[in-house]
Amino acid sequence: MMANSRESRSLRLKERFAAFVREVPWHVVTFVLRILYRFRLVGAENVPAKGPLIVSINVTSPIDTIFAIWIAFYLQRRLDLGSEDSLGYTQEDLLALPAFRKALVADPERAPEALSPHSAGNLTLSLLKGYRMLCRDGVVYLHPEGDMPWDGRPMPLGRSLAWLALHSAAPVLPVLCSISAYDIWPRWQKRPSLRGRLTLHLGQLVRVTDVPLAEVSDDDLDRATAQLRAAFDRIVYGPEGIEGWAGPPRRDGVALEGPGHVHPLKEPVPTHAFARPEKPGRNRGLAQLLWQCPVCCTNDSVYHRHPWIGRQSVRCLACDTRWAVRRMFGRDIRLAVVGGPAELVGLEMPVTMWYDEMKRNFEPQAIEVAGVELLPGEEVYLTRDDVIVEPHKPNALFDGYTGREPPRTMPGRHGMGDWDGIGEGRMLLTTRRLLWQGPDGELDFDWRNVTAVYLWLQNVLGLRYGTAHYRFRLGPMAEESGMKWLAHAATVARCVAAEEGTTVAVSHY
Ligand SMILES: [Zn+2]
């Protein structure tokens, strides 16, 4: 008897010690965040005593990915969850990253469930797993936006969150980091700033229905999604909302009514030929977002200088407009014109407003290209010589298929994140197709068969062609802008879909 209780006590001690060792890295992370960013947690009282619970995590910055893991540790302890009591979702695309694949292979039971952003069939199956977890009073973790914004503004919520909440009637716990995570580390910035403020909010529980609904209509989904969106935005951007976060445009320090509207300038801004600096850095910084100059509309001419010490600056190499970069904790980053066209000097606007100006002025421009036979009326907009095409397996291209049109279907069952390259070649984005000239022949991705266009991480363009998935590696980030390709591909694909009376899904940009 004595021996038994001694054994069980030592077992308990061992378990506690193992749990302590597992948690050490997260105590260290918390400590570092406290020192650097005065990190604090708000709303701990909103965590219910037990499941079912849907934990909705927002991600506006790479720094938020730390919180996605942090909160899982936190809730595991608060709710005393075992490994069987929770289920996490991740984007299928992330499973293509070596670290995620390793985790999946090492322990398939504990690996996160995959959500494929553009594949309805898989989505329904894996959502059912989440639904069953909630029926057993478990906890489901979900990142409902499925992507990270480039400019700090909220992205459309996917419907998975509303679907789960309506079918299960489980409450949603919003886990939202203050928007200052964005000014500490925006997606386009290579490394985080070492100054800033971070607050992690656990919001009040949101219930979109009192009883589980067996049938859910599109209207129900839209209503629940709008309710969740409003609740999230109130917490992230505060009472002044997104407008308050961005702040008004200013001229010489005086707030202007409405957007500053760079265009139409009285005279078109003169431009000249330019060469990019030899060492522009691995990452293009703000030039990833402003891939076209918002003043003179030249592609790839914006250059962001971000030294370790000293002030950041932005310059257009084609029209010589220069901006000072100004950062305020918890606000959008601002760009003030300090040199260039006299009409603009003194104009200061948040980055989001410069980006909107750029998009408003954007129109694809035809370029001259040799070595290609174009169809009647076809125009080329973009080209690049070293693009690697990666079909998702299985694909007939891996089995000796040689047609000009790439396969539109994937035969048989497909694994998660199983991409492989078929070679490097020149890619042309035209009004009719994405044409790839590879070492063993050419492929025509006809826009009429493209059903989704998206950007993966920074510089990989993704296409769903019919029901088959393809990716295009666009070259080093220092040289090529994925956002530029996405904007062009999305514009052409939408235009063709409108002509054909079809629809195409496009990731938010
Ligand atoms: Zn310019």
Spacing, Cα 385 to ligand 1 middle (Å):
25
- Dihedral-angle region of residue 375 (phi above 0 means left; psi in -120 to 50 means alpha; beta otherwise): beta
2 vs 345, which has greater pLDDT?
A: 345
Spacing, Cα 360 to ligand 1 middle (Å):
15
Q: How confident is the model at residue 491 (pLDDT cuts 50, 70, 90)?
A: very high
Q: Is residue 99 a part of any domain in this protein?
A: yes
Convert the pLDDT of each residue in 404-413 to its tens digit. 999 999 887 7
Spacing, Cα 337 to ligand 1 middle (Å):
12
- Mean pLDDT score of the chain: 87
Spacing, Cα 269 to ligand 1 middle (Å):
8
In terms of average pLDDT, the best of 101-105, 194-198, 305-309 is 194-198
3-class DSSP state of 212: coil
- Determine which of 24-28, 104-108, 128-132, 191-195 has the lowest per-residue pLDDT on average: 104-108
Q: Is residue 6 a part of any domain in this protein?
A: no
CATH number reported for the structural domain that contains residue 394 in this entry: 2.30.29.30
Spacing, Cα 232 to ligand 1 middle (Å):
37
For position 121, what pLDDT does the model report?
42
Spacing, Cα 267 to ligand 1 middle (Å):
13
Spacing, Cα 179 to ligand 1 middle (Å):
30
Q: How confident is the model at residue 201 (pLDDT cuts 50, 70, 90)?
A: very high
Spacing, Cα 399 to ligand 1 middle (Å):
47
Spacing, Cα 318 to ligand 1 middle (Å):
5
Spacing, Cα 292 to ligand 1 middle (Å):
8
For position 263, what pLDDT does the model report?
63
Q: Are 192 and 72 part of one and the same domain?
A: yes
| 270 DSSP assignment | P
Spacing, Cα 326 to ligand 1 middle (Å):
20
If 0-12 CB within 10 Å is exposed, 13-18 middle and 19+ buried, where does residue 142 land? buried
Tokens of 263: 């265009």
Q: Are 97 and 232 part of one and the same domain?
A: yes
CATH number reported for the structural domain that contains residue 228 in this entry: 3.40.1130
Residue 433, pLDDT > 90, answer: yes
Q: Domain limits at 390?
A: 380-506
Spacing, Cα 237 to ligand 1 middle (Å):
31
Rounded to a whole number of angstroms, the distance between the first and last alpha carbons of the chain is 67
pLDDT above 90 covers a percentage of the chain that reads: 56
Spacing, Cα 294 to ligand 1 middle (Å):
7
Q: Is residue 399 a part of any domain in this protein?
A: yes
Where is the domain boundary, 226, 241, 256? 241
Spacing, Cα 255 to ligand 1 middle (Å):
24
Q: How confident is the model at residue 316 (pLDDT cuts 50, 70, 90)?
A: very high
- Determine which of 72-81, 118-127, 355-364 has the lowest per-residue pLDDT on average: 118-127
For position 96, what pLDDT does the model report?
55
- Determine which of 202-216, 317-331, 472-486 has the lowest per-residue pLDDT on average: 472-486
Where is the domain boundary, 310, 326, 361? 361
Q: Are 157 and 213 part of one and the same domain?
A: yes
Question: Around ion ligand 1, which residues have CB less than 5 A away?
Answer: 293, 295-296, 316, 318-319
Alpha-helical (H) ranges within 172-294 are 180-184, 218-237, 241-246
Spacing, Cα 492 to ligand 1 middle (Å):
24
Alpha-carbon torsion angle 85, 86, 87, 90, nearest 10: -160
Q: Are 319 and 386 part of one and the same domain?
A: no
For position 353, what pLDDT does the model report?
94
Residue 376, pLDDT > 80, answer: yes
Residue 99, pLDDT > 90, answer: no
CA 148 to CA 315: how far, in whole Å? 26
Q: Are 335 and 193 part of one and the same domain?
A: no
Spacing, Cα 47 to ligand 1 middle (Å):
50
Spacing, Cα 296 to ligand 1 middle (Å):
4
CA 476 to CA 385: how far, in whole Å? 12
Q: Are 73 and 201 part of one and the same domain?
A: yes
> Which of 253, 424, 456, 244 has the alpha carbon at shortest distance from 330?
244
For position 458, what pLDDT does the model report?
80
DSSP assignment of 45-87 equals: GGS-SS--EEEEE--SSTTHHHHHHHHHHHHHHHTT--GGGEE
Spacing, Cα 245 to ligand 1 middle (Å):
27
Spacing, Cα 329 to ligand 1 middle (Å):
28
Could you give the number of structural domains in the chain? Answer: 3
Spacing, Cα 272 to ligand 1 middle (Å):
9
CA 180 to CA 192: how far, in whole Å? 12
> Which of 466, 463, 202, 491 has the alpha carbon at shortest distance from 474?
463
- The mean per-residue pLDDT over the stretch 357-367 comes to 93
| 179 DSSP assignment | T
Spacing, Cα 271 to ligand 1 middle (Å):
7
| 188 DSSP assignment | T
CA 39 to CA 197: how far, in whole Å? 7
Spacing, Cα 333 to ligand 1 middle (Å):
20
For position 204, what pLDDT does the model report?
95
Q: Are 404 and 317 part of one and the same domain?
A: no
Spacing, Cα 340 to ligand 1 middle (Å):
9
- With a CB cutoff of 8 Å and minimum separation 6, the contacts of 240 are none
For position 117, what pLDDT does the model report?
44
Q: Are 326 and 448 part of one and the same domain?
A: no
Residue identified by tokens 């260039």 is 340
Residue 102, pLDDT > 70, answer: no
Residue 23, pLDDT > 90, answer: no
For position 249, what pLDDT does the model report?
92
Q: Is residue 127 a part of any domain in this protein?
A: yes
Q: Are 356 and 408 part of one and the same domain?
A: no
Spacing, Cα 150 to ligand 1 middle (Å):
21
Q: Work out the number of other CB atoms within 10 angstroms of the CB of residue 246.
A: 23
- The mean per-residue pLDDT over the stretch 344-351 comes to 94
Tokens of 400: 């000796």
Q: Is residue 121 a part of any domain in this protein?
A: yes
For position 293, what pLDDT does the model report?
95
For position 457, what pLDDT does the model report?
78
Where is the domain boundary, 302, 327, 361? 361
For position 111, what pLDDT does the model report?
55
Residue 19, pLDDT > 80, answer: no
Spacing, Cα 290 to ligand 1 middle (Å):
11
88 vs 52, which has greater pLDDT?
A: 52
Q: Are 416 and 346 part of one and the same domain?
A: no
Q: Is residue 141 a part of any domain in this protein?
A: yes
Element (H or E) spanning 98, and its range?
helix 98-106
Tokens of 48: 């219910």
- With a CB cutoff of 8 Å and minimum separation 6, the contacts of 488 are 364, 381, 382, 429
Q: Is residue 265 a part of any domain in this protein?
A: no
- The mean per-residue pLDDT over the stretch 276-287 comes to 75
Q: How confident is the model at residue 373 (pLDDT cuts 50, 70, 90)?
A: very high
Distance of CA 443 to the CA centre of its chain: 28
For position 113, what pLDDT does the model report?
61
Q: Are 335 and 233 part of one and the same domain?
A: no
CA 292 to CA 279: how far, in whole Å? 19
Quote the pTM value. 0.88
- The mean per-residue pLDDT over the stretch 217-233 comes to 93
Q: Is residue 312 a part of any domain in this protein?
A: yes
Spacing, Cα 358 to ligand 1 middle (Å):
11
Q: Are 344 and 197 part of one and the same domain?
A: no
Spacing, Cα 180 to ligand 1 middle (Å):
29
